[in-house]
Chain A
Amino acid sequence: EIVLTQSPATLSVSPGERATLSCRASQSVTSNLAWYQQKPGQAPRLLIYGASTRATGIPARFSGSGSGTEFTLTISSLQSEDFAVYYCQRYNTWPPMGFGPGTKVDIK
Chain B
Amino acid sequence: EVQLVESGGGLVQPGGSLRLSCAASGFTFSGYWMHWVRQVPGKGLLWVSLINGDGSSTSYADSVKGRFTISRDNAKNTLYLQMNNLRAEDTAVYYCARDYYGSGDQWGQGTLVTVSS
Contact = CB atoms under 8 A, between A and B. Distances in A.
Nearest to A50: B101
Contacts of A56: 105
Contacts of A83: none
Contacts of A45: 107
Given A98-B47, A99-B45, A43 B108 contact: yes
A36 B45 CA distance: 11
B102 A91 contact: yes
Contacts of A32: 102
B107 A96 contact: no
Q: How big is chain A's contact interface, by range?
A: 20 to 34
B46 interface: yes
Nearest to B103: A34
Contacts of B37: 97
B38 to A, nearest CB: 11
Contact of B47 (A43, A50, A55, A97): A97
Interface of A: 32, 34, 36, 42-46, 49-50, 55-56, 87, 89, 91-92, 95-102
11 contacts: A46-B103, A50-B101, A87-B45, A95-B61, A96-B35, A97-B37, A97-B47, A97-B50, A97-B102, A97-B104, A102-B44
**6 shortest A-B CB distances, which residue pairs?**
A91-B102, A97-B47, A34-B103, A43-B107, A99-B45, A49-B103
